[in-house]
Chains A and B, each alone.
Chain A
Amino acid sequence: MTAGFFLAMGTGALGGFGHCLGMCGPVVATHALGRSSLRQALYHLGRLITYSALGAIAGGLGSVVGLAARIEGIQNALMSLVGVAMVWVGFGIWRGRSPAGSFLEARAHLVLGRARTIMQLPAGLSSLFFGLLMGFMPCGLVYTMLIGASGAGSAEAGAWLMLGFGLGTTPGLMAFGMTVSSLSGHMRARLLKAGGVVVAALGVYYLYKGIGFHAAL
């Protein structure tokens, strides 16, 4: 553990209450609806594992350019899938379905598919798995940190740097998720409907960004 770890953690903490809410807030909010703090923590643990792995690869390669090119397609596809899932969840909530169940069902159907059936993941581990996937979400701040990890000198140093960054982002995102979760517990039907429309609208936005229409317009 080096000074880079703590510097990265500070960067994550600084970004966690601003930048990260901008990109990951809707996903965190959608996942947090009706879920326990433990499930939310498992989601963030998954994200940290992915960040560390990416940091190790970037640090080992000594360059982020090749890594970025390889994962760009995965990231765009993931963002599109998340967008579709959020539209699904949003309309599910609007129609009065359980927000906690509908998103997992949609996600399992779209992303995990048969793999989940084979692996028979317990419910808590599905949050961990979701976090592992969401660690690949395209994010400018993550890209910058991977640039730093590529110059860390080794795979181990790159992994530590990205782990520190991820840990730094966690308090802000956890607080956000728990706030949304606590609100959802007291919601009534009309409140859920309003939230469902917002989640669906954000899903359309994610889909729009994931497909990359903005590049052509």
Chain B
Amino acid sequence: MEPPRRSFLYKAFTLVVGAVLPLPAIAAAIAGLMNPLRPVVRQKQAPSGSVPIGKDVGYFATLDKEALQRAGGDPVRFAIIADRKDAWNVYPKSQIGAVWVQKISQSRLDFEQNWKPALLKSVLDKAPTDQKASIFEDLLEVEFSILKRQKEQDGKEWMPADGEKTRARYAKEFSQYKDAVDRIAAKPVWEGAFRVFNHSCPHAGCAVDFKKDDSGKPGYFCPCHDSVFAADGARSESSPSPRGLDRLRYGYNASQSLCVKFQEFKAGHAEQETQ
């Protein structure tokens, strides 16, 4: 039988109706699929129970200083506890992550905790002559990190101009150590008394372990794809991880307890991006 000859419009209209029919269902299903991409869902709420430091926003968790004291110079893993939201549930006081914290040295800690503007000079005055230069360089880095932190705790950003201004000021004040001031100013990160890292490997998210290798050199090691990081978090050349361990900010709350700002970053990227 010959198919009946109908006009082009007839066929086109049938196709349009046919195409429209499943659309509402498909659209609703796709909307459901894409739900995680909506800004409200995507935006991570700051977990409850944090301790604010200055005007700095974000989640600050308090750490137990005694445990650090006990560990001496070795890093300690701290669980970060907060209310964890999972779709329709809230789990109160759950572990939402963990950090590695290492005290770099007691002299840095003493300096940081007693810090006031002229402390560096007075420490230097008391130091034995032959050690002055090395003590200065060590503590200057702590001082720079404190200045930067103070600005950030006021809710402002540390700009390159701030760095330059600070460098010039110290180079003038401590002109005999001008080279040391330049060296410290040029460092990409100023370490204070502590190193704090998120324990997630920036490669694919496994938890890194602290270890001493066969030669006794300390560092972090990922049990999944064998990424290796130095004690200061720098990645080793051959590591699959695209960047070093994620360094977290720390500070002291009103009662002088050590607090870390807990943040998570996307794995697999060379640049840090918050999740």
A-B complex is real: no
**Contact surface of A with B, Cβ cutoff 8 Å:** none
Interface, chain B (partner A; CB < 8 A)? none
